[in-house]
Amino acid sequence: MLTNIEIAKKYFEVSNQSDFDAIGKLFTHSTTYSSQNTGLYLGVEDILAMQRSYHGSFQSLNWKINDIQEVKSGIIEIDFSFSGVTIDGDKVSYSGLEYVVICGNLIQHIEVRNKK
């Protein structure tokens, strides 16, 4: 069985591979996703549709974990950096904080916040 931190790291790993089947297997049927940039999503199908659209706008993309810690039992805080090249060839980079809430070895909630 994976630790909560290992589950969160696995989510980043499969996201970098755009492996939507593997991403979906990390979620519950009622997982929620919230981001200041993309909005609020409920359920694995809604979240994966958003992620497919986002990933599809890039030729390449990569999320890097700069720091990761379990701030409370089941709540993982990840300081991350993103870099990518859009379909049009534009380079994009940003950083933020991502909170991954894990319950019963599955991701129950993801919240992405911009860094201040």
3 state DSSP class of 10: helix
The domain segmentation of the chain, as residue ranges, is 4-114
Give me the pLDDT at residue 115, please: 83
- Tokens for 77? 């805080």
* Calculated CA dihedral for residues 11, 113, 87, 48, nearest 10 degrees: 50
Q: Which fold has domain 4-114?
A: Nuclear Transport Factor 2; Chain: A, (3.10.450)
- Work out the average pLDDT over 14-43: 96
Q: What percent of the chain is predicted at pLDDT more than 90?
A: 94
3 state DSSP class of 110: strand
Q: Cα(7)–Cα(42) distance, rounded to whole angstroms?
A: 20
What element of type H or E holds 80?
strand 75-86
Q: Cα(92)–Cα(94) distance, rounded to whole angstroms?
A: 7
Q: β-strands 27-35, 39-42: how paired?
A: antiparallel
Is a pLDDT exceeding 80 seen at residue 83? yes
Residues facing 64 on adjacent strands: 81
Interval 39-63: pLDDT, tens? 999 999 999 999 999 999 999 999 9
Q: Residue 81: pLDDT band by 50, 70, 90 thresholds? A: very high
**How far from the centroid of its chain's Cα atoms is residue 66's Cα?**
14
Is a pLDDT exceeding 90 seen at residue 82? yes
Q: Report pTM.
A: 0.95
**How far from the centroid of its chain's Cα atoms is residue 90's Cα?**
22
